[in-house]
Amino acid sequence: MHPHDYLKLRRRAAGLTIEEAQRRLDEALQADWRFLGVDRRARGDDFEQLRDPCADFVRLEAGLSIAGTRELVLIKVRVFPIDPVIYHHLGMGGTPRICRFCGCSQLDACFDGHTTCAWVAKDLCSAASCQAQAVKEHRRAS
């Protein structure tokens, strides 16, 4: 799996469209005073023009740009759950353990309001939606 596939998987698992995710990330960036575009945006410059390519979900999910630590932390805290370490690991060609349906991982487990998920197979977690997809996949295969 590529890091951009991982981002897409986690966004979909969070039930967000790419537009919703972008809106949240833009808000997070605007709230982040370290973001260089803030002053210029305050003067009325076009935010789209100023947006860091590393903070554009279309580019990120197409693999056209790579999120840096700052973007990954903002996504994790303000947009949807991810584990930045997994993203970096995948970027280095690694094969971290993640659920193939929702992309959750050891430090970024699903939470249904009562309990966190557990591994039921090498790349499958116990979340209800992932179990349902595994059943569907099994039916298709047989």
Spatial CA neighbour of 127 closest among 139, 141, 109, 106: 109
28 or 124: whose CB is closer to Zn ion?
124
**Structure tokens, 63:** 């693999």
Scan residues 80-99 and list those touching Zn ion (CB under 5 A): 99
Instruction: Select the residue interacting with Zn ion from 125, 137, 139, 142 (CB under 5 A).
Output: 125
| End-to-end Cα spacing for the chain | 25
Least distance to Zn ion from the beta carbon of 19, Å? 24
Least distance to Zn ion from the beta carbon of 52, Å? 30
Q: Which residues contact 126 (CB under 8 A, 6 or more apart)?
A: 117, 118, 119, 120
43 or 122: whose CB is closer to Zn ion?
122
Scan residues 36-75 and list those touching Zn ion (CB under 5 A): none
**Residue 116 vs residues 7, 55, 90, 100, 111: alpha-carbon distances, Å:** 20, 29, 23, 17, 4
Instruction: Select the residue interacting with Zn ion from 55, 67, 79, 104 (CB under 5 A).
Output: 104
Point out which residues bind Zn ion (CB under 5 A). Answer: 99, 101-102, 104, 110, 117, 125, 127, 130
